[in-house]
Structure formats: C-alpha cells, structure tokens
Chain A
Amino acid sequence: MKTLIKLFAVVTLAFTVQLSMGQISGTKHDFSTKGWNPSGEICIVCHTPHNAITGAEPLWNHELSTATYTVYSSSTMDATPGQPNGNSKLCLSCHDGTVAIDNFGGATGGSQFIGGNKNLGTDLSNDHPISFTYDAALAGTDGGLFDPTTTNSGLGGTITADMLFANEMQCASCHDVHDDTNGDFLVMSNAASALCLTCHNK
C-alpha cells in the first residue's frame, strides 16, 4: 500500500511539473495539423529562424496587420493607450481579423480568418487597454492600481519585471501564447480574479 502511495505521488508530481512548464503542443495555438499548414510545423505560423520580418521580434514570420485601431478610452482611466505596439502587434496580426491566419512565411492571399470572440476586430475599445505605460506614477495617479515596480506579480518577481514590456502593458501581460495551462492562455489562473487583482487594487 505504502509503495502504491509513493508511486502515485511521483506520477502526480511529474504530471504537474510538465503541465506547469507548459507547452504549445496540443493547444489552440498549435496549427501543425491544419490543412493550410502542410509543413506540419508548429512554430512556423509565427516564427522563422531565417529571413524574419524586420522590426517585429522575435524572428517574426506572420504578415502584420496595417489596421488603425479604435483604442480603449474611459473617463476614469488615467493611462493614455496609443495605437497597439510591441508584442501586441504580433497578436493582432491574427486577432484583429484583417490578415489571414495562413499569411505566413511571405504568403499572402490566405483564406483562413479568425472567428468568434477571438476576433477582436480593429475596434479595441471594448477590450482591456494595451500599449500604455504602467509605472509607479500611473499607479499613484489612478489610486486603483498597485505600484508595478514594488508589487509582487505572483510569478516570481514584480509586475514590472514579470508582466510588463519596457514598462508597457501588452497582451502578453496577461496571456502566454505558448502555454494554455490556465485556459485562455492566461499567465496565471484567474480563479478568485487573481490575475485582475494582481494589478487592480479594488
């Protein structure tokens, strides 16, 4: 019996470690089995080791959107979101619905477009704001935000270190495109609104 429990514990631990490390394989971002991706490669839809699109990192391989977006605004917001930039532009190269998913590797004229709730469109006013500077000053002005430079993200370091990109809030602040452990590719579980309350002092 004791041996059985030990075995069970080891198996459970191993399973947990694998899950927590996360992997894109098998998630909705794994397009290796799609007919429009005859290479069967996973990474290729977004990345390429050579001849990547310049100005878009890392090693970007998907056609970028040229859309101009309607950005979020609110009378109670002290941040000033601009047009999406940084890694949010990469997400929107599929998720604004203007560029075919299969427009990668230099291909254009694809036919696969994102649908449903995942198509944010070019009107981002009904989506959480992105591409704005979130620093101690903003937190001080807003009063309803934690200071990102001193507040623990729950991911090991501060919010600034773990969740911001050049001090800016981006899609990747909440989403890890390579890991769907928490569902919706969230960087952490949102049970008890833990993700929201990492930044929002409500």
Chain B
Amino acid sequence: MIPLKIKLTLLLLVPAWLFSQSIVTTVHNLSVSGPGTIKAVSESEICIFCHTPHNSSPSGPLWNRSDPGLNFTFYNSTTTEATIGQPDGASLLCLSCHDGTIALGSVLSRPAIIDFTAGITMMPVGNTNLTTDISDDHPVSFIYNSALAAADGELVDPVNLQWPVVLQNGKMQCTACHDPHTNIYTDFLVVTTQYSNLCNECHVKDYWLSSSHRNSNAGWNGSGNDPWFHTPFSTVSENACENCHNPHNAGRNQRLLNYLAEENNCLDCHNGNVASEDIKVQLNKPYNHNVYNYNLTHDASESALVLTKHVECEDCHNPHAARNLSASAPDVQGFNVGTIGINLSGGAVDPVQYEYEICFRCHADSPDKPASPTTRQIEQNNVRFEFDLSSPSFHPVAGPGTNPDVPSLIAPLTESSMIYCTDCHASDGTGSPAGPHGSVYPQILKFNYSTADYTVESYQAYELCYQCHDRSVIINPNGNEFQQDVHYTHIVEEDAPCNACHDPHGISSSQGNSTNNTHLINFDISIVRPIQQNKLRFEDQGSFAGRCYLRCHGKGHNPKSYN
C-alpha cells in the first residue's frame, strides 16, 4: 500500500502536457472547473458550451450555438490563388465565440445565457477575439485542392497532406491547424509551430530549405523590440516562418506580416540584435536606398520592371531564399538569390542569375528612375544601356571590358575580370555589411569619389577608383607619356577629377562610338567645354594614343594629342 502522500507526489511528477490532452484542463473548458480566467460562474458541464445531445443546430456536430452573421471581412491578397469568401464549416463554429459578437454562454440547450465570471459575456478584446475583420488572419473556408496547389506552385498537393492536418470537405478550415479539444502544442495547434513544422505541412516555399531564415540558430540579444513577440521560440530557425509572418492579428493583412511597414518586418532582426550585421544603421546614413520613404507601394506580385518608384528590402532580397553564400561577379550572391530582375536584354527573369539584374529593376527601363548626378555630353540614365556589351566602353559589370590593356589594375584583377555594381555602390566603412544600403558618400558609394572641379588629388579624394586602379601607376609623374601627360597633368597638376572625363558606368552604343567614347570618355560638360561650337570630343588613335578637342581650365586643345 503506497501512502497517500507518495501517491500525490508521483502524480505531480507526471508532466502537465499529459493532462492537457483532455479538454478538461484547457481553457476551452469554460465550465466552473475550467483553468482559465474566462469561465462560467456555476455551470459545471463542459461540452455544453459547444455541444448538445438533442435538438442540435445543423451547423456542426451536435452543435449547441447560434451561427455568427456572415458579415466578415475576409482575407485577400494579390498573391493568393485561392478563392476566399465568407467563413463556413468548422470555422464558422469557432467564430461563434471567437468573433466576439455572441455571448460565450449563449447556448441552444439553455433558456438563459450561462453566466460568466467577472461579468464577461462576449470574448474579451485580445488576441483570441478575432473580430468580424478576419482579413488579418490566415484565410479559411477556401477549397484547397490539387488545382490550387498547382496554380500556387508553393503549396503541398492536399492529397499528400499528413494527419493530423486535415481538411473539412476539401476546404481549409480553422480545424486544419487547431483541435479545439486538445492543447498539446499551445494554442490548440495540431502540430508544433517550432521550426514552422505546422506551416510546412501545407507551405513549400521555393528556396526555403537553404535559407538562413530557416537554418540560422541566431538568438536575440534582448535589445530593442522582441522580434518574436508572438511565439515562445528563441532562435531564427525555431521561429522560421513566424520570424516575419503572424497567422493571426497580423500587422499587415496581405501575406500576414508582423508589421504594416515593410522594412519593420526585417529590421527588428537586422539591426544587430539578432543578425550580426546592423543594416538599420546603414539605412540611416545620408545616402541610402530609403526603404522608410515608401509604404504599401511595393507588392509581392509586382512586375520585375518597377513601374512605380519605391524601394523595400524585398525588392532586392527574397526572405525565403536569402543565405550567406558568396559568389563571383557577376553571379548573384546568397543574400540576393531567388529575386526577380531584368536581364541585359531588358527581359524579366525569375530568379535572377546575375546581381546587376536586380539593379536593372529600377535603374534601367523604369520610369522615374534616378538621374545621373553629372551633366555629361552624352546623357543616359538607363544603366542597362550603359553596361551593355555593345557599348564602346563600360565597367565590366555585365561582361569583361573592351580595353585589353589596363596597367593600373591591382592584382588579382585583370582585363578579363568582372565586378559587381555593389563593388562600388555599397555601405561605406570598414567592416560594413555588403550591399548598397546606405553610405555617407553620394550615390551610395563605398568609398569617397570626389567629382568637384579643382579637387586636390589625394588617395582619399579618389579612394573609390584607387581600390582597383593603382594610384602609383595612374598618376606616376615618371611614367610613360600617357601617365605623365594625361593622368598626372590633369589629376595632380590641374586638380581635375576623374569624373570630368570618365563616365564610370559606360557609354551607350546608341549614343557613343568606338572613336570618341572608348576608355569611358564622356565629358562632364560643367567642367569641360567645346573649343568651338559643337567641337568637343576625344578621338581614340590606338593603344595609349589619342587627341582631344576641348576647352578646360582656361586652356584650349584643338586638338591636343598624346601617344
């Protein structure tokens, strides 16, 4: 015979979740014996709040409640293929309490409303009161069939759904995720949401398996906003989908995001509090891709070619795909994989293969694209034309450059090397994260690049150029005639900036030619003037040979030759 005291002790050793398999110990026990704060004053029956053995409503299994009205504002999204309407089936049953319009104690089998403690009648305001606006909740009551899965492309074919995730008469309902009688995984979930296991029962997102947002074990350092305010989990991988998405009471209805403002969904983690790099501090620099400036302009369904000017993190990043994986120019790097873009021919690509295809979304054929900051002899703001391989000269972003002899290049760079847009356009500062998030330098340049006339030459003045082009070669006063007479004379002695003669992107073949516009020559006409009317040009005369017709710093070349 085991003494009672020991028996009781043994009972306490049994884990609580064993008991939570019964509705009796869950907050869905609304009777006087219920464990929650929302409970009846004296009603002892547990099942009665939903079920009655006789004269039940046809709405559900021996249903004992009235149906809510069909005046719900339901979920809609530009990226859903499902046909979503007013809730029905099991979802309507849940909403007979959870929409907050019907007294919890109002049941068909009792003549009067069952009294609740603390004067509660309807579901109190809070997360469990979804209200009649369920457009910020995961959609329900839509047909989820093989055709939907095929049309969507990122959904499991429902014939392969695994119990306990089940549909009701072919429709997704609240009961696909929730079992109102069993609360093993909190929130009456049928499968744990740790690692988004529940979400993954239906959702198969492209690229997701290798994404850092699925695999990172980073945790939160406790500063700033709790990035995981609606989950009990403490690492990126454990939160997975819920790093950004909130299945109920979402901040942004479409795609059920945590926050309405797009960037806020990223920056609670990418501020140094979870992710190691602080992107937020970069975005606050004076020259930036100003994601704060636009709200609800970006749309996940938008075309690759951006037609309405905006920028959001997800214009360049696919959060389902992003990973820390380096690549070589021009191939897209891990941070940007899985995004859409515009290729060198101007066609939409999904996903991008090359990094510059992302930049071309806005900086090529888009209306309202940013203009060049320099007034040049040849104006061109479409960088796709500038970098095109037919251009007489271009920095090697889309393909190796045209100039076979560039002695200033610093190893390992050679004339056949290629570079990224983001080699020049990136956050400034040693150790700053890659990418053009923000910089203290105009054009979001990674290093200083002085463009003003009469800039006194220094390493710092043209630090950007000198990353690849060896300063000691470029402006060698003892070098060959080209180095002495062209670069040293102009840059050091005349204090002319590189930008006065060179157009760093390239010159479109539709405007320039291989006589006048090799070597990125396209004059800044605020500095370089014609020698006579319409007589302003460079003429390429072969290797390290050429002549110029122009007036600059009070001097005239008509022409001035070097060879």
Chain A residues close to B by CB (< 8 Å): 74-77, 117, 120, 125-128, 144, 174, 190-193, 196-197, 200-202
Contacts and interface: CB of A to CB of B under 8 A. Distances in A.
Interface in B7-41: 22-24, 31, 33
A118 B466 CA distance: 94
B181 A127 contact: no
Given A75-B169, A144-B181, A193-B31, A126 B47 contact: no
A191 B58 contact: no
Interface string B336-361: 00000000000000000000000000
A202 B62 contact: no
A50 B54 CA distance: 34
Given A76-B168, A193-B31, 10 more contacts: A77-B61, A120-B54, A127-B56, A127-B62, A174-B53, A190-B45, A197-B24, A200-B47, A202-B22, A202-B181
Contacts of B57: 126
Interface in B55-106: 55-58, 61-62
Interface in B396-445: none
Contact of A127 (B24, B33, B45, B55): B55
Contact of A192 (B46, B53, B169): B46
A191 B44 contact: yes
Contacts of A120: 54-55
Contacts of A193: 31, 44-48
Contacts of B51: 196
A29 to B, nearest CB: 17
B327 to A, nearest CB: 50
Nearest to B49: A193
Contacts of B169: 75
9 contacts: A74-B61, A120-B55, A192-B24, A192-B33, A192-B44, A196-B51, A196-B53, A197-B24, A202-B47
Which of the four size classes fits the interface of chain B?
Answer: 20 to 34
A120 B47 CA distance: 21
A128 B46 contact: no
B45 A191 contact: yes
Nearest to A186: B53
B181 A128 contact: no
B54 A126 contact: yes
B58 A192 contact: no
A199 to B, nearest CB: 11
Contacts of B31: 192-193
Nearest to A76: B61
A76 to B, nearest CB: 6
Contacts of B168: 75-76
> Which residue, A126, A127, A196, A200, has most C-beta atoms of chain B within 10 A?
A126
A128 B53 CA distance: 5
Contacts of B44: 191-193
Given A75-B168, A144-B181, A127 B61 contact: no
Contacts of B45: 190-193, 196
A172 B467 CA distance: 91
Contacts of B47: 193, 196-197, 200, 202
A127 B108 CA distance: 13
B301 to A, nearest CB: 35
Nearest to A123: B58
Contact of B46 (A74, A76, A127, A197): A197
A165 B2 CA distance: 38
A192 B45 CA distance: 4
A84 B293 CA distance: 70
Interface string B160-181: 0000000011000000000001
> Which residue, A76, A144, A190, A193, has most C-beta atoms of chain B within 10 A?
A193
Nearest to B21: A201
Contacts of A202: 22-23, 47, 181-182
A76 B47 CA distance: 17
Nearest to A190: B45
A126 B61 contact: no
A126 B33 CA distance: 28
B23 A126 contact: no
B24 A126 contact: no
A126 B54 CA distance: 6
Nearest to B45: A193
Contacts of A117: 54-55
Contacts of A174: 53
A201 B55 CA distance: 23
Nearest to A189: B44
Nearest to A126: B56
A188 to B, nearest CB: 13
Nearest to A119: B55
A75 B171 CA distance: 12
> Which residue, B23, B24, B55, has most C-beta atoms of chain A within 10 A?
B55
Nearest to A127: B54
B62 A128 contact: yes
A197 B181 CA distance: 12
Nearest to B62: A128
Contacts of A200: 47
B380 to A, nearest CB: 65
A126 B181 contact: no
Nearest to B163: A143
A32 to B, nearest CB: 26
Nearest to B182: A202
B22 A128 contact: no
A74 B62 CA distance: 9
